[in-house]
Structure 1
Protein backbone atom coordinates (compact mmCIF):
# COMPACT_ATOMS: atom_id res chain seq x y z
CA UNK A 1 0.00 0.00 0.00
CA UNK A 2 1.33 3.44 -0.82
CA UNK A 3 3.04 5.78 1.58
CA UNK A 4 -0.34 7.54 1.76
CA UNK A 5 -1.41 4.78 4.13
CA UNK A 6 1.75 4.66 6.20
CA UNK A 7 0.83 7.62 8.35
CA UNK A 8 -2.65 6.28 9.00
CA UNK A 9 -1.76 2.99 10.69
CA UNK A 10 -3.02 2.15 14.17
CA UNK A 11 -0.67 2.89 17.08
CA UNK A 12 1.52 0.05 18.45
CA UNK A 13 0.09 -2.24 21.09
CA UNK A 14 0.62 -2.01 24.87
CA UNK A 15 4.25 -2.13 26.11
CA UNK A 16 5.57 -5.31 27.71
CA UNK A 17 4.98 -5.53 31.48
CA UNK A 18 8.13 -4.83 33.43
CA UNK A 19 7.52 -7.74 35.80
CA UNK A 20 7.32 -10.31 32.97
CA UNK A 21 10.54 -11.87 31.66
CA UNK A 22 10.97 -11.26 27.95
CA UNK A 23 11.12 -15.00 27.30
CA UNK A 24 7.54 -15.50 28.56
CA UNK A 25 5.97 -12.92 26.28
CA UNK A 26 4.09 -14.39 23.31
CA UNK A 27 3.77 -11.98 20.45
CA UNK A 28 1.09 -12.77 17.88
CA UNK A 29 1.69 -10.94 14.61
CA UNK A 30 -1.25 -9.09 13.11
CA UNK A 31 -2.85 -10.76 10.12
CA UNK A 32 -4.10 -8.85 7.07
CA UNK A 33 -7.71 -9.82 7.79
CA UNK A 34 -7.77 -8.98 11.50
CA UNK A 35 -10.68 -6.98 12.83
CA UNK A 36 -9.99 -3.29 12.14
CA UNK A 37 -8.66 -1.29 15.06
CA UNK A 38 -11.20 0.57 17.17
CA UNK A 39 -8.83 3.56 17.27
CA UNK A 40 -10.11 6.11 14.78
CA UNK A 41 -7.47 7.27 12.28
CA UNK A 42 -6.86 10.98 11.75
CA UNK A 43 -9.45 12.80 9.65
CA UNK A 44 -8.46 13.17 6.01
CA UNK A 45 -9.17 16.05 3.60
CA UNK A 46 -12.35 15.37 1.59
CA UNK A 47 -10.50 14.55 -1.62
CA UNK A 48 -8.16 12.10 0.09
CA UNK A 49 -11.08 10.50 1.94
CA UNK A 50 -13.01 10.03 -1.30
CA UNK A 51 -9.98 8.43 -2.94
CA UNK A 52 -9.48 6.11 0.03
CA UNK A 53 -13.16 5.11 -0.01
CA UNK A 54 -13.03 4.24 -3.71
CA UNK A 55 -9.90 2.16 -3.16
CA UNK A 56 -11.76 0.31 -0.44
CA UNK A 57 -14.68 -0.44 -2.76
CA UNK A 58 -12.31 -1.67 -5.46
CA UNK A 59 -10.54 -3.92 -2.97
CA UNK A 60 -13.89 -5.31 -1.83
CA UNK A 61 -14.91 -6.00 -5.42
CA UNK A 62 -11.63 -7.85 -5.92
CA UNK A 63 -12.38 -9.90 -2.77
CA UNK A 64 -9.01 -8.79 -1.35
CA UNK A 65 -9.64 -9.10 2.38
CA UNK A 66 -6.09 -8.07 3.31
CA UNK A 67 -6.34 -4.81 1.40
CA UNK A 68 -9.84 -4.20 2.75
CA UNK A 69 -8.62 -4.58 6.32
CA UNK A 70 -5.70 -2.23 5.69
CA UNK A 71 -7.88 0.41 4.03
CA UNK A 72 -10.42 0.25 6.84
CA UNK A 73 -7.63 0.77 9.35
CA UNK A 74 -6.55 3.78 7.31
CA UNK A 75 -10.02 5.29 7.62
CA UNK A 76 -11.91 3.90 4.63
CA UNK A 77 -15.68 4.19 4.96
CA UNK A 78 -17.40 0.83 4.40
CA UNK A 79 -20.69 2.64 3.65
CA UNK A 80 -19.28 4.93 0.94
CA UNK A 81 -20.65 4.15 -2.53
CA UNK A 82 -19.25 4.24 -6.02
CA UNK A 83 -20.87 5.54 -9.21
CA UNK A 84 -23.24 2.55 -9.43
CA UNK A 85 -24.21 2.73 -5.76
CA UNK A 86 -22.14 -0.21 -4.56
CA UNK A 87 -20.45 0.02 -1.17
CA UNK A 88 -17.84 -2.40 0.15
CA UNK A 89 -20.53 -3.87 2.41
CA UNK A 90 -23.26 -4.14 -0.23
CA UNK A 91 -20.99 -5.74 -2.82
CA UNK A 92 -19.44 -8.23 -0.43
CA UNK A 93 -22.91 -9.28 0.72
CA UNK A 94 -24.28 -9.61 -2.79
CA UNK A 95 -21.35 -11.69 -4.02
CA UNK A 96 -20.84 -13.87 -0.95
CA UNK A 97 -17.39 -12.49 -0.10
CA UNK A 98 -17.80 -13.46 3.53
CA UNK A 99 -14.38 -12.50 4.89
CA UNK A 100 -14.71 -9.03 3.41
CA UNK A 101 -18.31 -8.87 4.59
CA UNK A 102 -17.33 -9.62 8.17
CA UNK A 103 -14.68 -6.90 8.05
CA UNK A 104 -17.24 -4.33 6.87
CA UNK A 105 -19.70 -5.36 9.57
CA UNK A 106 -17.01 -5.02 12.24
CA UNK A 107 -16.27 -1.55 10.88
CA UNK A 108 -19.87 -0.36 11.26
CA UNK A 109 -21.60 -1.22 8.00
CA UNK A 110 -25.15 0.14 7.71
CA UNK A 111 -27.15 -3.08 7.44
CA UNK A 112 -30.18 -1.16 6.14
CA UNK A 113 -28.29 0.44 3.25
CA UNK A 114 -29.57 -0.23 -0.26
CA UNK A 115 -28.10 -0.67 -3.72
CA UNK A 116 -29.11 0.89 -7.03
CA UNK A 117 -32.12 -1.44 -7.20
CA UNK A 118 -33.33 -0.30 -3.80
CA UNK A 119 -32.44 -3.65 -2.28
CA UNK A 120 -30.52 -4.62 0.83
CA UNK A 121 -27.46 -6.87 0.69
CA UNK A 122 -29.70 -9.77 1.76
CA UNK A 123 -31.77 -9.70 -1.44
CA UNK A 124 -29.01 -10.49 -3.99
CA UNK A 125 -27.34 -12.84 -1.50
CA UNK A 126 -30.60 -14.79 -1.37
CA UNK A 127 -30.99 -14.70 -5.14
CA UNK A 128 -27.49 -16.13 -5.64
CA UNK A 129 -27.96 -18.85 -3.01
CA UNK A 130 -25.09 -17.70 -0.78
CA UNK A 131 -26.31 -19.65 2.25
CA UNK A 132 -23.55 -18.68 4.69
CA UNK A 133 -23.78 -15.05 3.60
CA UNK A 134 -27.53 -15.04 4.17
CA UNK A 135 -26.92 -16.43 7.65
CA UNK A 136 -24.36 -13.68 8.39
CA UNK A 137 -26.63 -10.90 7.11
CA UNK A 138 -29.66 -12.13 9.04
CA UNK A 139 -27.58 -12.31 12.24
CA UNK A 140 -26.32 -8.77 11.56
CA UNK A 141 -29.90 -7.48 11.45
CA UNK A 142 -30.56 -6.88 7.76
CA UNK A 143 -34.37 -6.56 7.37
CA UNK A 144 -35.78 -9.80 5.97
CA UNK A 145 -38.97 -8.30 4.53
CA UNK A 146 -37.50 -5.33 2.69
CA UNK A 147 -39.02 -4.84 -0.78
CA UNK A 148 -36.74 -3.53 -3.53
CA UNK A 149 -37.60 -1.28 -6.47
CA UNK A 150 -38.61 -4.33 -8.52
CA UNK A 151 -41.21 -5.23 -5.91
CA UNK A 152 -39.36 -8.30 -4.64
CA UNK A 153 -38.29 -9.43 -1.18
CA UNK A 154 -35.27 -11.64 -0.48
CA UNK A 155 -37.56 -14.68 -0.47
CA UNK A 156 -39.18 -13.77 -3.77
CA UNK A 157 -35.77 -13.32 -5.43
CA UNK A 158 -34.53 -16.60 -3.97
CA UNK A 159 -37.43 -18.28 -5.75
CA UNK A 160 -37.87 -16.26 -8.93
CA UNK A 161 -34.23 -15.84 -9.97
CA UNK A 162 -32.71 -19.26 -9.30
CA UNK A 163 -33.34 -22.96 -9.78
CA UNK A 164 -35.12 -24.01 -6.59
CA UNK A 165 -32.27 -26.38 -5.69
CA UNK A 166 -30.81 -27.29 -2.29
CA UNK A 167 -29.05 -23.96 -1.71
CA UNK A 168 -32.22 -22.03 -2.51
CA UNK A 169 -34.16 -24.27 -0.17
CA UNK A 170 -31.64 -23.55 2.60
CA UNK A 171 -31.96 -19.82 1.93
CA UNK A 172 -35.75 -19.92 2.11
CA UNK A 173 -35.57 -21.96 5.32
CA UNK A 174 -33.23 -19.39 6.91
CA UNK A 175 -35.48 -16.54 5.84
CA UNK A 176 -38.58 -18.26 7.24
CA UNK A 177 -36.80 -18.97 10.52
CA UNK A 178 -35.83 -15.28 10.70
CA UNK A 179 -39.46 -14.19 10.33
CA UNK A 180 -39.67 -13.48 6.60
CA UNK A 181 -43.26 -13.14 5.42
CA UNK A 182 -44.03 -15.44 2.45
CA UNK A 183 -47.35 -13.67 1.97
CA UNK A 184 -45.79 -10.47 0.61
CA UNK A 185 -46.88 -10.32 -3.03
CA UNK A 186 -44.77 -9.46 -6.06
CA UNK A 187 -45.88 -6.86 -8.64
CA UNK A 188 -47.96 -9.56 -10.37
CA UNK A 189 -49.83 -10.20 -7.15
CA UNK A 190 -48.24 -13.59 -6.47
CA UNK A 191 -47.01 -14.78 -3.08
CA UNK A 192 -43.74 -16.67 -2.61
CA UNK A 193 -45.72 -19.92 -2.33
CA UNK A 194 -47.60 -19.25 -5.54
CA UNK A 195 -44.35 -18.53 -7.38
CA UNK A 196 -42.71 -21.69 -6.01
CA UNK A 197 -45.67 -23.79 -7.12
CA UNK A 198 -45.83 -22.10 -10.52
CA UNK A 199 -42.14 -22.79 -11.15
CA UNK A 200 -42.32 -26.38 -9.94
CA UNK A 201 -40.14 -25.88 -6.87
CA UNK A 202 -41.94 -28.46 -4.75
CA UNK A 203 -39.34 -28.52 -1.98
CA UNK A 204 -39.60 -24.79 -1.39
CA UNK A 205 -43.40 -24.88 -1.68
CA UNK A 206 -43.61 -27.60 0.96
CA UNK A 207 -41.28 -25.65 3.24
CA UNK A 208 -43.39 -22.50 2.97
CA UNK A 209 -46.61 -24.45 3.63
CA UNK A 210 -45.06 -25.96 6.74
CA UNK A 211 -43.42 -22.74 7.82
Structure 2
Protein backbone atom coordinates (compact mmCIF):
# COMPACT_ATOMS: atom_id res chain seq x y z
CA UNK A 1 0.00 0.00 0.00
CA UNK A 2 1.46 3.33 -1.07
CA UNK A 3 1.72 6.25 1.32
CA UNK A 4 0.67 9.63 -0.03
CA UNK A 5 1.38 13.12 1.16
CA UNK A 6 0.80 16.47 -0.45
CA UNK A 7 2.18 19.91 0.25
CA UNK A 8 1.16 23.42 -0.81
CA UNK A 9 3.28 23.10 -3.94
CA UNK A 10 1.89 19.67 -4.83
CA UNK A 11 2.78 16.07 -4.09
CA UNK A 12 5.86 15.21 -2.04
CA UNK A 13 8.12 13.71 -4.73
CA UNK A 14 10.21 11.83 -2.20
CA UNK A 15 7.44 10.20 -0.17
CA UNK A 16 8.13 6.49 0.11
CA UNK A 17 6.11 3.33 0.58
CA UNK A 18 6.64 0.48 3.07
CA UNK A 19 9.72 -0.69 1.13
CA UNK A 20 11.06 2.88 1.13
CA UNK A 21 10.56 3.16 -2.61
CA UNK A 22 9.77 6.56 -4.02
CA UNK A 23 7.76 7.27 -7.17
CA UNK A 24 11.08 7.82 -8.99
CA UNK A 25 12.36 4.41 -7.92
CA UNK A 26 9.10 2.83 -9.16
CA UNK A 27 9.36 4.62 -12.50
CA UNK A 28 13.01 3.54 -12.92
CA UNK A 29 12.24 -0.05 -11.99
CA UNK A 30 9.42 -0.19 -14.54
CA UNK A 31 11.43 1.50 -17.32
CA UNK A 32 9.09 4.50 -17.61
CA UNK A 33 11.62 6.91 -19.12
CA UNK A 34 9.28 9.87 -19.67
CA UNK A 35 8.08 9.66 -16.06
CA UNK A 36 11.68 9.36 -14.85
CA UNK A 37 12.61 12.47 -16.83
CA UNK A 38 9.66 14.39 -15.44
CA UNK A 39 10.28 13.40 -11.82
CA UNK A 40 14.02 14.20 -12.02
CA UNK A 41 13.26 17.56 -13.63
CA UNK A 42 10.67 18.23 -10.89
CA UNK A 43 13.31 17.65 -8.21
CA UNK A 44 12.86 14.04 -7.07
CA UNK A 45 15.87 12.72 -5.14
CA UNK A 46 17.89 10.38 -7.35
CA UNK A 47 20.03 9.04 -4.51
CA UNK A 48 17.21 7.88 -2.22
CA UNK A 49 17.70 4.27 -1.01
CA UNK A 50 15.01 1.68 -0.44
CA UNK A 51 15.13 -0.89 2.39
CA UNK A 52 17.67 -2.98 0.42
CA UNK A 53 19.85 0.08 -0.13
CA UNK A 54 18.95 0.22 -3.82
CA UNK A 55 18.92 3.56 -5.57
CA UNK A 56 17.22 4.22 -8.89
CA UNK A 57 20.50 3.41 -10.63
CA UNK A 58 20.82 0.04 -8.89
CA UNK A 59 17.35 -1.08 -9.98
CA UNK A 60 17.60 0.25 -13.52
CA UNK A 61 21.04 -1.37 -13.94
CA UNK A 62 19.86 -4.69 -12.52
CA UNK A 63 16.90 -4.77 -14.90
CA UNK A 64 18.85 -3.61 -17.96
CA UNK A 65 17.00 -0.33 -18.50
CA UNK A 66 19.68 1.35 -20.61
CA UNK A 67 17.86 4.60 -21.43
CA UNK A 68 16.87 5.15 -17.80
CA UNK A 69 20.43 4.53 -16.61
CA UNK A 70 21.82 6.82 -19.31
CA UNK A 71 19.44 9.61 -18.31
CA UNK A 72 20.19 9.23 -14.60
CA UNK A 73 23.94 9.26 -15.21
CA UNK A 74 23.60 12.44 -17.27
CA UNK A 75 21.56 14.13 -14.53
CA UNK A 76 23.06 12.71 -11.32
CA UNK A 77 26.37 11.01 -12.03
CA UNK A 78 27.51 11.44 -8.43
CA UNK A 79 25.53 8.29 -7.55
CA UNK A 80 27.42 6.09 -10.02
CA UNK A 81 29.42 4.36 -7.25
CA UNK A 82 26.73 4.29 -4.58
CA UNK A 83 26.67 0.97 -2.69
CA UNK A 84 23.57 -0.96 -1.65
CA UNK A 85 23.28 -2.91 1.61
CA UNK A 86 25.46 -5.71 0.20
CA UNK A 87 28.09 -3.26 -1.01
CA UNK A 88 27.13 -3.65 -4.66
CA UNK A 89 27.33 -0.68 -6.99
CA UNK A 90 25.06 -0.24 -10.03
CA UNK A 91 27.76 -1.61 -12.36
CA UNK A 92 27.94 -4.77 -10.22
CA UNK A 93 24.24 -5.39 -10.87
CA UNK A 94 24.72 -4.81 -14.59
CA UNK A 95 27.59 -7.34 -14.59
CA UNK A 96 25.64 -9.91 -12.57
CA UNK A 97 22.80 -9.78 -15.08
CA UNK A 98 25.06 -9.66 -18.16
CA UNK A 99 23.88 -6.25 -19.37
CA UNK A 100 26.97 -5.62 -21.49
CA UNK A 101 25.85 -2.30 -22.96
CA UNK A 102 25.21 -0.96 -19.48
CA UNK A 103 28.60 -2.13 -18.24
CA UNK A 104 30.25 -0.24 -21.08
CA UNK A 105 28.15 2.84 -20.31
CA UNK A 106 29.14 2.72 -16.63
CA UNK A 107 32.80 2.34 -17.60
CA UNK A 108 32.55 5.27 -20.03
CA UNK A 109 31.00 7.40 -17.28
CA UNK A 110 33.79 6.53 -14.82
CA UNK A 111 32.42 3.80 -12.56
CA UNK A 112 34.99 2.56 -10.03
CA UNK A 113 35.56 -1.12 -10.84
CA UNK A 114 37.60 -1.77 -7.70
CA UNK A 115 34.98 -0.93 -5.08
CA UNK A 116 34.65 -3.96 -2.84
CA UNK A 117 31.33 -5.38 -1.73
CA UNK A 118 30.72 -6.79 1.76
CA UNK A 119 32.50 -10.03 0.80
CA UNK A 120 35.47 -8.10 -0.66
CA UNK A 121 34.58 -8.95 -4.27
CA UNK A 122 35.41 -6.48 -7.03
CA UNK A 123 33.61 -6.26 -10.37
CA UNK A 124 35.89 -8.86 -11.96
CA UNK A 125 34.74 -11.50 -9.45
CA UNK A 126 31.17 -11.04 -10.72
CA UNK A 127 32.18 -11.09 -14.38
CA UNK A 128 34.05 -14.35 -13.73
CA UNK A 129 30.99 -15.83 -12.03
CA UNK A 130 28.62 -14.77 -14.81
CA UNK A 131 31.02 -16.06 -17.48
CA UNK A 132 31.10 -12.88 -19.55
CA UNK A 133 34.59 -12.84 -20.98
CA UNK A 134 34.01 -9.62 -22.94
CA UNK A 135 32.88 -7.87 -19.76
CA UNK A 136 35.88 -9.33 -17.93
CA UNK A 137 38.17 -7.97 -20.65
CA UNK A 138 36.56 -4.51 -20.46
CA UNK A 139 36.97 -4.51 -16.67
CA UNK A 140 40.63 -5.47 -16.97
CA UNK A 141 41.15 -2.66 -19.48
CA UNK A 142 39.50 -0.30 -16.98
CA UNK A 143 42.05 -1.31 -14.33
CA UNK A 144 40.07 -3.83 -12.29
CA UNK A 145 42.33 -5.70 -9.87
CA UNK A 146 42.70 -9.22 -11.25
CA UNK A 147 44.42 -10.33 -8.04
CA UNK A 148 41.71 -9.10 -5.65
CA UNK A 149 40.94 -11.71 -2.99
CA UNK A 150 37.46 -12.08 -1.49
CA UNK A 151 36.79 -13.03 2.14
CA UNK A 152 36.45 -16.59 0.89
CA UNK A 153 40.01 -16.52 -0.46
CA UNK A 154 38.91 -16.41 -4.10
CA UNK A 155 40.44 -14.37 -6.88
CA UNK A 156 38.43 -13.84 -10.08
CA UNK A 157 40.52 -16.61 -11.65
CA UNK A 158 39.45 -19.07 -8.93
CA UNK A 159 35.81 -18.31 -9.68
CA UNK A 160 36.15 -18.52 -13.47
CA UNK A 161 37.99 -21.84 -13.21
CA UNK A 162 35.52 -23.31 -10.71
CA UNK A 163 32.58 -22.30 -12.92
CA UNK A 164 34.35 -23.68 -16.02
CA UNK A 165 34.18 -20.34 -17.86
CA UNK A 166 37.17 -20.99 -20.11
CA UNK A 167 37.03 -17.70 -22.02
CA UNK A 168 37.02 -15.78 -18.72
CA UNK A 169 39.96 -17.87 -17.52
CA UNK A 170 41.83 -16.97 -20.71
CA UNK A 171 40.97 -13.26 -20.42
CA UNK A 172 42.02 -13.12 -16.78
CA UNK A 173 45.25 -15.04 -17.42
CA UNK A 174 46.17 -12.61 -20.20
CA UNK A 175 45.36 -9.76 -17.82
TM-score when normalising by structure 1: 0.71
Q: Answer yes or no: is the 8 Å Cα contact 2:28–2:68 preserved in 1.
A: yes
Q: How big is the shift at 1:84?
A: 2.5
Structure 1 unaligned runs (5+)?
Answer: 1-43
Instruction: Please say which structure displays the higher CA radius of gyration.
Output: 1
Aligned mates of 1:86, 1:184 — CA distance in 2 = 25
Partner in structure 2 of residue 71 of structure 1: 39
Q: State whether structure 2 residue 78 is matched by structure 1 residue 114.
A: no
Which shows bigger deviation, 65-74 or 84-93?
A: 84-93
In structure 2, distance between residues paired with 1:119 and 1:204: 21
Counterpart for residue 4 of structure 2: none
Q: Distance in 2 between the 1:145 and 1:64 partners? A: 31
Identify unmatched segments of 5+ residues in structure 2.
Answer: 1-8
Q: Which residue in the other structure is 1:193 paired with?
A: 157
Kindly state the Cα deviation for residue 94 of structure 1 after the two structures are TM-superposed.
Answer: 2.3
- Runs of 4+ aligned structure 1 residues displaced above 3 Å come to none
* TM-score normalised by length of structure 2: 0.85
Cα separation, 1, equivalents of 2:115 and 2:44: 27
SS of equivalent residue, structure 2 residue 27: helix
SS state at 1:76 partner: coil
Secondary structure (helix, strand or coil) at the match of 1:193 reads helix
1:204 to 2:173 alignment: no
**RMSD value, Cα:** 2.1
